[in-house]
Structure 1
Amino acid sequence: MNGITVTVVQRHKKEGSQVWYARVKNTKTGSVRYVSLKTTRRTEAQLLANDMLREGEFDEKDEKSAITLGEGLEQYEKYLRNKGTAEISIETYRNVFRRFSGMYGVPIAEIKAEDVLDTFNEQFSEFSANFYNNARVAIKSAFNYFLNVLEIVPRNTARKIPKRKVQKKEKKFWTMEQIAAILDKAPNSNYRLLWAFMAYEGLRIHEALKVKPEDIRDGFLHVIGKGAKYAKIPIGSIMKSELDRAGWAWDFSRFSRQSCISAVHSCAKKALGDAFDGEATNHRFRHSFASNLVRAGANILVVQKLMRHATITMTLGTYSHLMDGDLESGIEKLSSK
């Protein structure tokens, strides 16, 4: 009818949504679009689709206004991937978006700010402030995409989600002596070297897992880091000793983030004994790298560069408390004049 064919399908069954859609194909242009039928019953969906087809409701209209939340989020994921966003970040965003699966069939143009706020609070109010705020960033960024790139909405529909205040606390770190003790308890040479890359070069776990021997040349470690950014990090003498110890050969291919966490926790507990505080993560190696640099008197700008923080504010906000010892030595310099 009018060059339009319609079939009913479930588009987001894997995400837990049972809503049926009309798959509308223009036989002249070959274009395909989906219209939510807002029912979870197949028979009802088929009857509704037939009625809508007879009434001409599937005739070509403004396609943007018909894009559903599920479709828009799929496009946003592709957009992030094309921008070079790390796959782990995309997966994190996807896990947040899945909690909105009940709205996947609703056209983005019809979603109200109050609906987004209510759904967000229902899904994330019980989580920690950090998790809540990260989820907020994910949803707001998606609706910014709908606003600025797809130009579907006149304002960011997620704008009413408030930011939650985070109670800041000093992050714990391991001293150089404690790190050495943990490395000595590593199950094998691969684990030891992986942890060394984080503790002595400041790599993130997903960066360390990808390091290969050919990435080290001319005294530098060459990595593609967060946000697909290239970094060139000097190989220190401690790291060189670890590489020599490993024979400049390793294989991290069988490691997963979770297996690494389990191994770190077990080895830290054995190595530190009564000094073990119960917290042992992959990221603590990287945090300890920066903390030990500051404690050793490294310039905070150098720490920022080695940590590859976007701003000095980020570095100061995390590590400035470790510089308190510099205050006393600084004031004493007046006495030496």
Structure 2
Amino acid sequence: MWEASINGFKVHLRMERSLSAHTIEAYERDVKILTRYLLQAGKPVGPEAISLEELEGCVRWVAELGMTATSQARMISGIRTFFRYLLLEDMVPHDPSQLLEAPKTPRKLPDFLSVQEIDAMIAQVPEHVGFKKDPKSGQYKLDPETGQKIPNDEHLVQRNIALLETMYACGLRVSEAVGLRLSQLYFQEGFIRVTGKGDKERLIPIGDSTVEHINIYRKDFRSRIDIARGHEDILFLNRRGKGLTRVMVFLIIKELAALANIKKNISPHTFRHSFATHLVEAGADLVSVQEMLGHESITTTEIYTHLNREYLRDMLVQFHPAFNR
């Protein structure tokens, strides 16, 4: 019964909810933890007969094994999704997970960059790809014969600048950035079309400055690359004419942060956090930010209202009557 239910659950997640293979594997793993607990506890009951007490016993079991509160919450979420599916398909008489409580988990606030820090990282792009500065003048050295910067790998400079500008200006996930296609650029209308989690699409406004960086990269440098078959529509390409990997973008950003002497824990997702934080701090409403980020729940977006404590205090001092008596 368990195997058939899990297989049906996976089909449901893939076909009905359009979740990624990675997410489906995570849900399957959550349910299989439950089946392992029932086996070791000597309770060989099927999903149609399982009780809330047995679910709570599973949670206690994984906690005793050392599973963190965050991982427990993740597992419980998967189990709840599984039983909601079974109830929807009339495979169980009721949902025993409805009253299953998740442990309290601390809400970790993500690091974000200031506008000045983002500018500092972008300013390091030429240095990062190998252009050398004269230590006295601070200018990039030129080849005396060609008059070009050394080495002349300006394609990577323009690509990396356009990549970072797009990630920050549009709040993209790294997977969305490396998967961005020429056919998804609607510059005349001022939007790009992004394919996010679960193959869900959304439209995101794009500013003139970012459009200009992308167009410089496309017209002056991307057009000179021998593009590999199957990658003709991919916007950001590597030297071999193939799409960038997420790992490559991660390394680029890590190295640029080090060159800019930024000590924060930086990743590609930091640019997305910065996009959202700066919007909220400037007064954008959460529903609009949620739409641009592609968050399924507004509660995910609400974390950005807590990022800058000093900013929130300034708002209180400025607007709250108790601070203006």
TM-score bin, normalised by smaller chain: 0.5 to 0.7
Larger radius of gyration: 1
Separation of aligned partners in 1, 2:284 and 2:98: 41
The answer to which structure has the higher strand fraction is 1
Greater relative CO (CA pairs within 8 A, separation 6+): 2
- Map of 2:273 onto structure 1: 287
What is the CA-CA distance between 1:202 and the residue it aligns to? 0.8
Cα shift at 1:289 = 0.5
Partner of 2:91: 152
Counterpart residue number, 1:241: 212
Deviations 1:17-42 (A, max 9, x none): xxxxxxxxxxxxxxxxxxxxxxxxxx
Which structure 2 residues correspond to residues 1-337 of structure 1 after superposition, within 5 A?
A: 68-87=1-20, 88-100=22-34, 102=36, 107-123=46-62, 126-149=66-89, 151-159=90-98, 161-183=100-122, 184-185=124-125, 188=156, 190-217=159-186, 218=188, 219-247=190-218, 249=222, 250-251=236-237, 255-271=244-260, 273=261, 275-277=262-264, 279-310=265-296, 312=298, 314-320=300-306, 322=308, 323-324=311-312, 325-330=314-319
Q: Which runs of 5+ in 1 are unaligned?
A: 1-67
Residues 100 and 263 of structure 1: CA distance in aligned 2, closer, same or farther (over 3 Å): farther
5+ residue gaps, structure 2 = 130-155, 223-235
What is aligned with 1:60?
Answer: none
Separation in structure 1 between the aligned mates of residue 98 and residue 303 of structure 2, nearest angstrom = 26
Q: Give the 3-state SS of the residue equivalent to 2:202 in structure 1.
A: strand
Question: How many Å separate the matches in 2 of 1:122 and 1:264?
Answer: 40
| Secondary structure of the structure 2 residue equivalent to 1:222 | strand
Match in the other structure for 1:8: none
Tell me if the contact between 2:109 and 2:303 (Cα under 8 Å) persists in the aligned partners. no
Deviation at 1:312, TM superposition (A): 5.0
Contact 2:277 2:307 in 1 (8 A): no
What SS does the corresponding residue of 1:247 show, helix, strand or coil? helix
Q: Distance in 1 between matches of 2:243 and 2:28?
A: 25
Distance 1:109 1:313 in 2: 32
Amino acid at match of 2:166: F
Q: What is the SS of the residue equivalent to 2:103?
A: coil
Q: Aligned partner of 2:174: which letter?
A: I
Show CA shifts across 1:285-334 (max 9, x none): 111111122334445554343333445554344325545233334369x9
- Matched-pair contact (CA < 8 Å) for 1:69–1:106: no
Letter in 2 for 1:90: I
Structure 2: distance between partners of 1:111 and 1:284: 42
Runs of 4+ in 1 over 6 A off after TM superposition: none
Q: How far apart in 2 are the matches of 1:169 and 1:121?
A: 24
Q: CA deviation digits over 1:170-211, x for unaligned, max 9?
A: 332101221233343465455554443321101122222221
Task: Give secondary structure in 2 for the equivalent of 1:221.
Answer: strand
